[in-house]
């Protein structure tokens, strides 16, 4: 009887130990899951400075062998940063990237749009409630992000993301979209009513063509006379060459983190000084600087860029980590690594930088 009682006691003890071990294992596994989710949540909030302009919403489905990343992001580089961070934190599971990258693909490659109404409110959510972002004016060129019938999510030239009704834009291919970014622009100083009764509001910008006509949002051309608008040509602004000349005076100076002097500069300090010495004052940090101006270049579309425009580059820890000044002919001047230097984004050039080319995300025009 004593022997039987001892056996039962030992069996109960073993069962309790197994339950305890299982609970501990489950607890450690749950803790690991929580640590993974916390790491990704931190990455979602820290990669992007302003969610009105860029955002990512990454999630993780965790098993004992794999971590599957799902959700949405605009760029792969920050997602690669999450993968590196997971490995660095000691998580040994295989990481599978099943993230949906924006923008979506659109039929017939019509991934861009031109606003065809006098103005339309871009909203943060695809509903007619108090979610106003910014108004888009007639003729503004936007990039389509996603189809949310009866809305499109679009990105304006200022970078703001928002939803607008589909019937407020004409969808076009890249070639047609580029026409609305040409150098000469007619800037309307007052409201104008066309012969058909359509109104063009003050502040509207439309391409001014070489034949003296104005390119309307529907693709038609019209001759408008009087003093209702003035014409600007960004390419002829002498300030562009002044900025380039100033920037070249810093060539070969060393890279210094936080530097702004002639003893050395970091990337944003270099751009800040090159602009500031010509009367244009920009924010100090690269990510804040990237929110200024109008988008004038994207990967695969750089034809409308002019000397003096700014190019921004992505990193693995934050979306925008580097800035350079465009000097023309696919070349940029910037402060990085060994200091202020000139590189090309054209693979056929001797001074081509593959790293810059791969990490380029957008360009901004700060002034006309």
**Which residue numbers are catalytic?**
267, 322, 334
Q: Find residue 215's DSSP bridge partners.
A: 221
Sequence length of the chain is 368
- Both structure tokens of 65: 């062998």
* Nearest one of 107, 112, 114 to 220, comparing CA atoms: 114
Rounded to 5 degrees, what angle do the CA atoms 77, 49, 69 make? 40
313 and 324 Cβ atoms separated by less than 8 Å: yes
Chain position carrying tokens 């530097």: 259
d(CA 290, CA 286): 6
- Both structure tokens of 251: 């060539």
The Cβ of residue 288 has, within 10 Å, a number of other Cβ atoms equal to: 14
* Half-sphere CA count of 196, side-chain side, radius 13 A: 3
159 and 202 Cβ atoms separated by less than 8 Å: no
Dihedral over Cα of 207, 208, 210, 211: its sign: positive
d(CA 209, CA 215): 7
Chain position carrying tokens 């070639």: 175
DSSP assignment, residue 152?
E
Element (DSSP H or E) covering residue 21: helix 2-46
The string of DSSP codes covering 329-342 is: TTEEEEEETTEEEE
Ranges of beta strands (E only) in 168-265 are 169-172, 184-188, 192-193, 199-200, 205-207, 214-215, 221-222, 229-233, 260-261, 264-265
d(CA 68, CA 108): 32
């Amino acid at each position: 009887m004593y022997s039987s009682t001892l056996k039962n006691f030992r069996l109960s003890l073993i069962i309790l130990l197994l339950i305890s071990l299982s609970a501990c294992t489950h607890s450690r596994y749950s803790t690991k899951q929580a640590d993974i989710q916390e790491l990704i949540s931190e990455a979602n909030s820290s990669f992007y400075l302003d969610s009105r302009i860029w955002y990512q919403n990454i999630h993780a489905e965790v098993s004992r062998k794999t971590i599957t990343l799902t959700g949405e992001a605009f760029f792969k580089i920050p997602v690669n940063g999450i993968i590196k961070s997971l490995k660095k934190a000691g998580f040994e599971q295989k990481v599978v990237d099943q993230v949906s990258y924006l923008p979506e693909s659109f039929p017939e490659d019509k991934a861009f749009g031109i606003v065809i109404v006098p103005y339309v409110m871009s909203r943060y959510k695809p509903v007619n409630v108090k979610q106003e972002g910014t108004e888009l004016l007639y003729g503004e060129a936007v990039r389509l992000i996603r189809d949310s019938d009866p809305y499109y999510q679009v990105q304006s030239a200022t970078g703001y993301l928002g939803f607008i009704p589909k019937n407020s834009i004409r969808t076009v291919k890249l070639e047609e979209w580029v026409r609305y970014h040409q150098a000469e622009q007619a800037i309307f100083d007052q409201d104008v009513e066309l012969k058909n009764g359509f109104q063009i509001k003050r502040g509207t910008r439309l391409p001014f063509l070489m034949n003296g006509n104005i390119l309307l949002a529907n693709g038609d051309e019209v001759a408008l006379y009087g003093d209702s608008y003035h014409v600007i040509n960004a390419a002829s602004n002498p300030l562009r060459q002044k900025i380039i000349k100033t920037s070249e005076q810093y060539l070969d100076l060393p890279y210094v983190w936080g530097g702004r002097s002639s003893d050395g500069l970091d990337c944003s300090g270099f751009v800040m000084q090159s602009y500031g010495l010509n009367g244009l004052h920009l924010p100090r940090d690269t990510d804040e600087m990237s929110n200024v101006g109008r988008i004038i270049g994207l990967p695969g579309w750089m034809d409308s860029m002019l000397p003096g425009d700014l190019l921004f580059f992505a990193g693995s820890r934050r979306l925008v980590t580097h800035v350079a000044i465009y000097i023309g002919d696919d070349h940029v001047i910037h402060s990085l690594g060994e200091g202020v230097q000139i590189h090309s984004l054209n693979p056929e050039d001797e001074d081509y930088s593959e790293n810059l080319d791969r990490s380029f995300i957008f360009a901004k025009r700060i002034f006309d």
